[in-house]
Amino acid sequence: MTAIDTAIRATAADIELIGVTKAYDAKTTVIPPINVALRPGEFTVVLGPSGCGKSTLLQMIAGLERVSGGKIVIGGREVQDLEPKHRGCAMVFQNYALYPHMTVAENMAYSLKVAGVSKADRAQRVGVVAKMVGLADFLPRKPGQLSGGQRQRVAIGRAIIREPGVLLFDEPLSNLDAQLRHDMRVELADLHRRIGATSVFVTHDQVEAMTLADRILILNKGLIEQFDTPKAIYHHPASVFVAKFIGAPPMNILAVTGDGSALRLADGQVVANYADKGSFQLGIRPEDIAVNAGGSIKAEIRYREDLGSHEILETNIADQNLRITMPFGAEIDTEQTLSLSFPRARLHLFDSETGRAIHNAFDDAKTAPTFVKEYQ
């Protein structure tokens, strides 16, 4: 394996986007000026709902879309005006985009052929890459004769064969079934470790983002909501948008009002002590809610979903929906009304207007936050 490992090894390049924008015309701006720097060899996942501009961003890095303004710097070179082939990027497409009339070997070797690499060298490189992606026995086949997972491997092989400094992925796993998606995720992580190219991976799947990324870039309507490690994003979401986007089931967001001493729900229940006045959005993850007889917060059970490993309770609290995850085996009395408590260290407080985070955890002793981090 070590021989193969050294055979395909990219010199990772850093990527810097400086004030990059994309607008189709005066009215439709897809991406307002964006500034972001990706470290060499880093695996960045760009995450966001459909239409957030994540694919456009990727295509601008690749050179498939023209930038409307700003600079793209890859490995110290300004590339925004270069053709795709001169940028040192390779790409894996959502629907694989394999050439249906070429064999697996020809598909993988095509970029080398265009670049004028000799036939013998091409065959040698194809052999190495085919072994890496586990397709050594399929080289003479056409894409139509392959399974979805195998096609995906061809697409990856085609991308890495040029030893690109930058590997771009455009939702490459979205067409696979759940099991295959999991397997490919593991393989991708392993490949990344071995090749070491700077990778940008676009997806709308939070599981892919959490498992693959060194850092996740969350986009919403072309704007960066947060750019941080998966852990930080999960535990310290910078906004309501991020809080609701990451985690399954998503974080509960409750409208609360501060009266100077406590945060109250609409029906007057106190959910936490807090010194500031005004209206806020309070966030708590379903698995962080404690169900116990001593809890002072009351919620009505509307519906129970038993998933075997855990149970999800849909409850009603002050006319808002509150989801609670219970581990397997946790006993609850069959009564309609639950007694809950919200651990202070697990609470998140957001500005009710901007949606930005104010506190990402409460200290028990004081009402001051133990951890506040400004992002961006």
Partner 1 sequence: MSSESSLFGHCWLPLLLVAPLMLLIVLFFYVPVFQAFYWSFFLEQPFGGGSEFVGLQNFARVLSDPEFWMAGWRTIVFMLTASTLAVAVPLMLAIAADRKIGLSYAARNILVWPKGIAGAAIGVVFAFIFNPFVGLMAPLNALFPGLWNPGMDGTDAFVTLVAAHVWSGIPFNFVILLAGLRSIPPTMYQAAAMDGASPWRRIADVQLPLIMPQLFLTFVLEFTESITSVFALIDTMTGGGPGGSTTLLVYKIYIDGFRGFDLSGASTQTAILMVFVLLLAACQFVFLGRRINYER
Partner 2 sequence: MVENARSINIVASILLAIGILYIVGPLYLTLSTASQSYEYILTNGLAWVPGTELFTNMAKVIHDTRIPVQMLNSMIVAFSNALATCALSFLSAYAIVYFRIRWAGVVFALILATIMLPLDIRVITTYQVASNIFSPLNAVLDVTGLNALTANMFGAPVHLELSVLNTHFGLVAPLVAHGTGTFLFRQFFLTLPKDLFKAARMDGAGPIRFLIDILLPLARPSVASLFVLTFLSGWTQYLWPLVGASTPDMQTAVVGLARLVPDSDGQVPDFPMIMAGAVLVSLVPLTMIALLQRFLVQGLVLSEK
CA 24 to chain centre: 26
Nearer to partner 2 (CB atom), residue 162 or residue 204: 162
- Tokens matching residue 37: 């720097």
Question: Is residue 361 close enough to count as binding partner 1 by CB under 8 A?
Answer: no
Pairing verdict, β 320-327 and 310-317: antiparallel
- Tokens matching residue 26: 């005066």
Contact range with partner 1 by CB under 8 A, out of 60-68, 126-134, 280-288, 338-346: 60-68
CB 90 within 8 A of CB 244: no
Contact range with partner 2 by CB under 8 A, out of 107-115, 142-150, 290-298, 314-322: 107-115
Restricted to residues 144-163, the positions that interact with partner 2 (CB under 8 A) are 158
Give the Cα separation of 244 and 337 in Å (integer): 26
Question: Is residue 176 close enough to count as binding partner 2 by CB under 8 A?
Answer: no
* Cβ 110 to partner 2 shortest distance, Å: 5
CA 41 to chain centre: 17
* Cβ 95 to partner 2 shortest distance, Å: 6
Nearer to partner 2 (CB atom), residue 84 or residue 249: 84
* Cβ 101 to partner 1 shortest distance, Å: 21
Which position has the token pair 């992580």?
189
Question: Is residue 77 close enough to count as binding partner 2 by CB under 8 A?
Answer: no
Q: Which one of partner 1, partner 2, none is in contact with 371 (Cβ closer than 5 to 8 A by kind)?
A: none
Give the Cα separation of 184 and 155 in Å (integer): 12
Give the Cα separation of 46 and 25 in Å (integer): 24
Nearer to partner 1 (CB atom), residue 19 or residue 51: 51
CB 195 within 8 A of CB 171: no
Among 16, 65, 163, 187, binds partner 1 (CB under 8 A): 65
Question: Is residue 64 close enough to count as binding partner 1 by CB under 8 A?
Answer: yes
